[in-house]
Amino acid sequence: MTLAKRLSLRDALLGRRSFRLFAPDPVPAELVREILEAARWAPSPHHTQPWRFVVVTDAAWQRRLAEEMGHRWELDLRADGAADEEVAGRVGRSHQRIMGAPALVVCCISMRDMHVYPDAVRQRAEHLMASQSLGAAIENVLLAAHERGLATGWICAPLFCPEIACAALELPGDWEPQALVLVGYPPRDVLLPPRVKPELLVEFR
């Protein structure tokens, strides 16, 4: 792996932020390839490396994904009883965010090499382990992007409609989309959201 050593680990951890808006500049494909290289070094259950990634930079695919997930969200919001104005606002903002990113990385798991159990409890745990491992891989990608001056935003939408995202991008049947990472360059100023105090997160016994 050839990650450039520009930031200390501490600087990378403390400096990474979530972005929902990006500068219009395109992101070179080589840079996306480099940040995804960082995913391969994440821990995984039984060393199965169950992560799969789809890079979307073509506007037609990007629109197809945004629209199809948006239609599904609209149906869910209407079923929840949301008013027309609220549905249009939330779905519209989500569409703009996805279309406004110069590159998307759809982050998936594959259960192909994971263990198969006859009972639902262990099978659920196995699936959860793959998801946890994907979370670790995604964080690696976010930090590698930050190290290269790229801005990223983690979007949960595919987790709520994996089959829609899978069909929209014509993915292999065993790929389960679980997250979307928006990738671009930071627009301008970066707001730092407050963090929870360590004493509220950690207990010692």
Ligand X SMILES: Cc1cc2nc3c(=O)[nH]c(=O)nc-3n(C[C@H](O)[C@H](O)[C@H](O)COP(=O)(O)O)c2cc1C
Helices 59-79 + 84-100 axis angle, to 10: 160
Quote the least distance from Cβ 15 to ligand X, whole Å.
Answer: 10
Q: Give the span between the Cα atoms of 173 and 53, in whole angstroms.
A: 14
Nearer to ligand X, 102 or 153 (CB): 153
- Contact status, residue 57 vs residue 103, Cβ threshold 8 Å: yes
Q: Give the span between the Cα atoms of 32 and 45, in whole angstroms.
A: 25
Nearer to ligand X, 48 or 94 (CB): 94
Helices 120-147 + 29-37 axis angle, to 10: 130
Q: Of 7, 17, 55, 148, which one interacts with ligand X (CB under 6 A)?
A: 17
Confirm or reject binding of residue 20 to ligand X (CB under 6 A): yes
Confirm or reject binding of residue 18 to ligand X (CB under 6 A): yes
Q: Of 81, 118, 193, 198, which one interacts with ligand X (CB under 6 A)?
A: 193
Contact string 87-126 vs ligand X (x = CB under 6 A): ----------------------------------------
Contact string 35-54 vs ligand X (x = CB under 6 A): --------------------
**What 3-state DSSP class applies to 190?**
coil
Quote the least distance from Cβ 30 to ligand X, whole Å.
Answer: 25
| Closest residue by Cα to residue 132 from 109, 155, 98 | 109
Confirm or reject binding of residue 155 to ligand X (CB under 6 A): yes
Q: Give the span between the Cα atoms of 76 and 102, in whole angstroms.
A: 28
Task: Determine the interface stretch with ligand X among 6-14, 48-56, 152-160, 167-175 (rule: CB under 6 A).
Answer: 152-160
Q: Give the span between the Cα atoms of 180 and 159, in whole angstroms.
A: 9
Residues forming contacts to ligand X in the complex (CB under 6 A) are 17-18, 20, 153-156, 193
